[in-house]
Each structure stands twice: as C-alpha cells, then as structure tokens.
C-alpha cells in the first residue's frame, strides 16, 4: 500500500464519501468498496475521506467507522489517498480514533471542530494540538462553523499550523475574507481546501489548493477539470463553475447528505437509504433533485 505522507500526495480533489446502508439499516460494505472505486476511477478523485459528515458519521458505531476505513483502503488505498474522519467533540475519543485509523493504514486524519460544547479558541487549540501529538499521520483540520457552532479563527489556525503534522485545513466557514487571510498567512506547504463545493472557485482565486467535495460523487471529473485548469485558464474554470451551479444548489437544497445519496443512486448505486434522524426525500423533493441534474448527468430524469 502506498504511503501518503502529506497534502501534495492527498491530491487536490477529495470526496467526503457517503455511507451506503442495506435494507436492514446496516452498512453495506461491499457497496462502499464499489463506490470508492467509482469515485477514483470514474469521477477522477485523488482521494477519499471516510467517516465525514457526508458519511453520516454521527450515526456510525466505532466498529462501523473502522471497518469502512479498511474496506476503502482495500478498494483504492494503493492508488488514492484515504483520510479518516477521527474528530469528535470528545478529545479522548478523537485520540483513540486517530490511533486506530493510523493502525489500519489511513493516509491522514481529519479533525472537525468539536461540535456542541463550543470550547472557545484556547479550547480549540488544546483539542487539535493534543490529538495531533498522538499520531504521526498528517492532519487536516475541518472548520465548519454552521455545523459546529464555533469558528476556528485565523490566529488560532496559524498557531496550529506551526505543529509539524497539521498540514492543512478544510474550510467550510463560508467566510471568504477569513479564508483569504488564512491562505495569505499560512506557512509554506500548508494547504487550504474548500469544504464548500459552490465556493471552490472563489477559494482557489484567493490561494486555495483544492476541494473536499460532496458533489464529486456525481460530477467529480468536471470538478477536477475546474481545479486543474484554473491556474492556466481561469475563464474555462469559471465556465465549468457556472455549468455546475445548479448541481451545487440542488445537492444542498435539502438536509445533506440525503440529496447526494439519492443522486448517486441514480447512477446505479444502492445508497439512497439514510439513518435517522435523517429521513428520505419525498417524491416532490426527488423530482427537484432530478431537475437539477438534467443536462448534467447521464441519469434517467
């Protein structure tokens, strides 16, 4: 298995992979492996994040999370990077999951802002730095204020960037001014990934490196082209961005990841089911999602 030791090796386009469930509500591990291969081979992803919010991580058991990691590593770990979402609102649990992810061969770990307990900036620094010290893997921080109710401020992030194995941030705060500051102040080699599909082009324009995506489940090849072409042909990147805007909007018109699971199912994957407290789309909502895909995806509408 290849050893991915930093963000250059992670690549520029990663998908936060959804978790397929079977008819009994259990994780469909065979389908997860098939989907991982599809994301890499067909949708041109450089890597995959397992056990992110798109993977419904709050409803997965520790055993399910680790088995998913092993399945995805077996499927694509020799030709793509595989990051493991180890972060929770519990520092001790995050350390345990980081160690288990490393033991199983993950190429990096992702640590989300501790949600719900709102620890403040010093608490954020202490949490992230403590977990990072307990693993030798490269760490991607995940700043998502809308889901965690706390923002990882630039000053705090720059302190964390001094820790050798904290090598990047997935920025989903939605605050372009802050993201521009981060990109400008970050030390050499520190990577700023967009965590919001629709803001990827603006983030690239202020110095962003790549994208951790949701919609790359269905339009990954186009997103990869947009990212790759941006430095030499920004107008082509803008054209691709505009083509994809309906998909960006449609995949987040209802609680995520429900729309992307339905959209991906239209391409032949048994992955539409969700776990409570998420609920399936209504027929009216499904029609709305299909409408955003017309002319974009080769699926039945």
Write the CA distances from 82 to 89, 182, 248, integer angstroms.
Answer: 22, 25, 24
Q: How confident is the model at residue 4 (pLDDT cuts 50, 70, 90)?
A: very low
* pLDDT greater than 90 at residue 2: no
Average model confidence (pLDDT) across the chain: 94
Q: How confident is the model at residue 201 (pLDDT cuts 50, 70, 90)?
A: very high
Q: How confident is the model at residue 300 (pLDDT cuts 50, 70, 90)?
A: very low
* pLDDT greater than 80 at residue 297: no
* pLDDT greater than 50 at residue 195: yes
pTM of the model: 0.94
Q: Give catalytic residues, as residue numbers.
A: 142, 170
pLDDT in tens, 149-179: 789 999 999 999 999 999 999 999 999 999 9
* pLDDT greater than 80 at residue 296: no
Supply the pLDDT for residue 7. 55
Any idea which residue has 């067909």 for tokens? 42
What the chain holds in terms of domains, given with CATH numbers, is: 7-235 (3.20.20.70)
Supply the pLDDT for residue 146. 73
pLDDT in tens, 39-64: 999 999 999 999 999 999 999 999 99
Supply the pLDDT for residue 97. 98
Q: How confident is the model at residue 9 (pLDDT cuts 50, 70, 90)?
A: confident
**For residues 255-279, average pLDDT:** 97
pLDDT in tens, 205-237: 999 999 999 999 999 999 999 999 999 999 999
* pLDDT greater than 70 at residue 26: yes
């Amino acid at each position: 298995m290849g050893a991915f030791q930093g963000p250059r090796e992670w690549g520029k386009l990663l998908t936060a992979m959804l978790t397929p469930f079977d008819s009994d509500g259990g994780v469909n591990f065979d389908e997860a492996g098939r989907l991982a291969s599809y994301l890499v081979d067909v949708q041109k992803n450089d890597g995959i994040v397992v056990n992110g919010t798109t993977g419904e991580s709050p409803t997965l058991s520790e055993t399910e999370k680790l088995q998913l990691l092993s399945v995805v590593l077996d499927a694509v770990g020799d030709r793509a990077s595989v990051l493991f979402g180890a972060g929770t609102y519990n520092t001790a649990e995050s350390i345990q999951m980081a160690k288990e992810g490393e033991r199983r061969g993950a190429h990096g770990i992702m640590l989300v802002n501790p949600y719900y307990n709102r620890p403040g900036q010093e608490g954020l620094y202490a949490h992230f730095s403590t977990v990072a010290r307990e693993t030798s893997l490269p760490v991607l921080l995940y700043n998502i204020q809308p889901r965690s109710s706390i923002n990882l401020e630039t000053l705090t992030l720059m302190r964390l960037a001094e820790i050798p194995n904290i090598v990047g941030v997935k920025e989903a705060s939605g605050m372009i001014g802050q993201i521009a500051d981060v990109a400008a102040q970050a030390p050499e080699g520190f990577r700023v990934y967009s965590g919001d599909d629709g803001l990827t082009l603006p983030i690239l324009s202020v110095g962003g490196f790549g994208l951790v995506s949701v919609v790359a489940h269905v339009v990954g090849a186009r997103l990869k082209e947009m990212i790759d072409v941006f430095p030499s042909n920004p107008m082509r990147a803008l054209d691709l961005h505009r083509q994809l805007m309906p998909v960006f909007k449609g995949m987040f018109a209802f609680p995520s990841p429900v729309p992307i699971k339905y959209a991906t199912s239209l391409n032949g994957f048994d992955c539409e089911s969700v776990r409570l407290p998420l609920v399936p789309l209504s027929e009216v909502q499904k029609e709305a999602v299909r409408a955003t895909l017309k002319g974009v995806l080769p699926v039945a509408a």
